[in-house]
Amino acid sequence: MDTTDAPNPAAEAMIDRDRASAALGMTVLESRPGHGVVSMRIRDDMLNGFDVVHGGIIFCVADTAFAVACNEGAETTLGAGAEISFLRPVRLGQTLTATAERRIRSGRTGLYDVRVTDEAGEVVAEFRGRSHTLRA
């Protein structure tokens, strides 16, 4: 997986070990504390039986952007829960970009919103994730 503009060492180290995101062909475009941008081109093996992208694939790109945004320090931060709304279908060859932003971080918990867009900038999904930072 490629990383560019990555001044967030904790997220960069996590992404370097993220075999699932790498296998899906994700690229980290931006990485800084509380913010992450990840893109992914849609392949044939990501389509469901209706020839549109499987919802789990869209969730994966959003979840990876969420992980980049919420891993801000030396401690491991994991997802505690998430929900997604699928707003329009995505098809073969399109490129998705997921942009995650921290809404609030308090103690060991956080709330992050992720907008997933296609190459035309159309919103295809909205994701909200809750994080939990583990004790060292």
How many other C-beta atoms are found inside a 10 Å radius of the C-beta of residue 96? 24
| CA distance linking residue 69 with residue 118, whole number of Å | 20
- What is the model's pLDDT at position 41? 98
Q: In this model, does residue 7 exceed pLDDT 80?
A: no
**What's the whole-number average pLDDT of the chain?**
93
pLDDT digits (tens, 9 = 90+) for 80-115: 999 999 999 999 999 999 999 999 999 999 999 999
With pLDDT > 70 as the criterion, what percentage of the chain qualifies? 94
| CA distance linking residue 90 with residue 47, whole number of Å | 9
Among 83, 75, 72, 74, which residue's Cα sits nearest to residue 105?
72
- The better pLDDT of the pair 73, 125 is held by 125
Report domain extents, the chain: 9-133
Q: Check: CATH 3.10.129.10 for 9-133?
A: yes
| CA distance linking residue 96 with residue 45, whole number of Å | 15
| CA distance linking residue 20 with residue 32, whole number of Å | 21
Q: In this model, does residue 46 exceed pLDDT 60?
A: yes
